[in-house]
Amino acid sequence: MSEEIKTTQTPEKKKRIFSAIQPSGTITLGNYIGALRNWVKLQDDYECIFAVADLHAITVRQDPKIFKKNILEAYALFLACGIDTSKSMFFIQSHVHTHAELAWILNCYTQFGELSRMTQFKDKSSKHADNVNAGLFTYPSLMAADILLYQADLVPIGADQKQHLELARNIADRFNGIYGKTFTVPDGYIPKVGARIRSLQDPTKKMSKSDENVNSWVAILDKPETIMKKFKRAVTDSESRVCVGEGKDGINNLIGIMSAVTGKTAESITAEFEGKGYGDFKTAVGEAVVEEVRPIQERFEQYINDKAYLEEQYRKGAEFALNISRRTLDKAMKKIGYLPK
């Protein structure tokens, strides 16, 4: 009788993802489709760490009362969008002091020339010429600290964030080259669908709440009638056929949005609206978006009216984050030569 050999297979370790979004007070449809909704999808396949990046927000002057309100509402809205604290670590950045501490260390391993080449620094400097502060210049080092503290394998990024991730990789490589393996060098994770939603009024630009024309962007918490009004005013072109094509940036954008919120392909959308005008199509896109955000708005109202629950969640998240990030910070400080605490 042959002896039965039993083998145990160790489950493959999930890769770790880190991502953070500033508490701007307004989460747009572009933010949701390009980032937040993808966060939710990632939770089953990756070890996810998410944060409300409130330290980054003060490179621009904030009204204290509004800022405090925005932070809490951002946390509640991210939960409403589907961040599950039983699956993911989710915290408020300023509650975890290791971010600021490692940021200072990494400042000293980031070259002036690297920071001066950051496109977003140039853009924000021109928009806020009266407040070109040091934080605005060095915040990519804080962003690198955010990622490297958690030994993240992957960072979800849009096309406009590749430069920041590349800098984080360069800093990690530089530090590792001097002191030996300390930080995981992260790779970018670029969503395949809906990564870049365009302005409804100027579809050559991405959707952004900083656009002075409020009809150019849709907020997740906009009322249904406001959403419908914005889509009905969306820029199209002189043709009347709903299809993807060159020179049809407005319609291409609306098809992309429709596809993102319904799961339909561009081909099936084109077939569905064959022979119908742009007015019908814009109304249909608006209605689809209203239905997409309706449950989010309902959950948000529940969370924002339960302050005790929100506090319980963000305190727990900060405690977990500190326990993990402290190990990385201590390791980096030991490598440099600091005395142990």
Q: What is the largest CA-CA distance in the chain?
A: 85
For residues 296 and 80, is the Cβ–Cβ distance under 8 A? yes
Helix or strand holding residue 52 (H, E): strand 47-52
DSSP line for 91-158:
EEGGG-THHHHHHHHHHTTS-HHHHHT-HHHHHHHHHTGGG--HHHHHHHHHHHHHHHTTT-SEEE--
Tell me the catalytic residues: 124, 206, 209
Q: What's the CA gap between 13 and 45, in Å, rounded?
A: 10
**C-alpha span between 131 and 270 (Å, rounded):** 47
- Non-local (6+) Cβ contacts of 17 within 8 A are 42, 46, 47, 48, 49, 152, 153, 154, 155, 156, 189
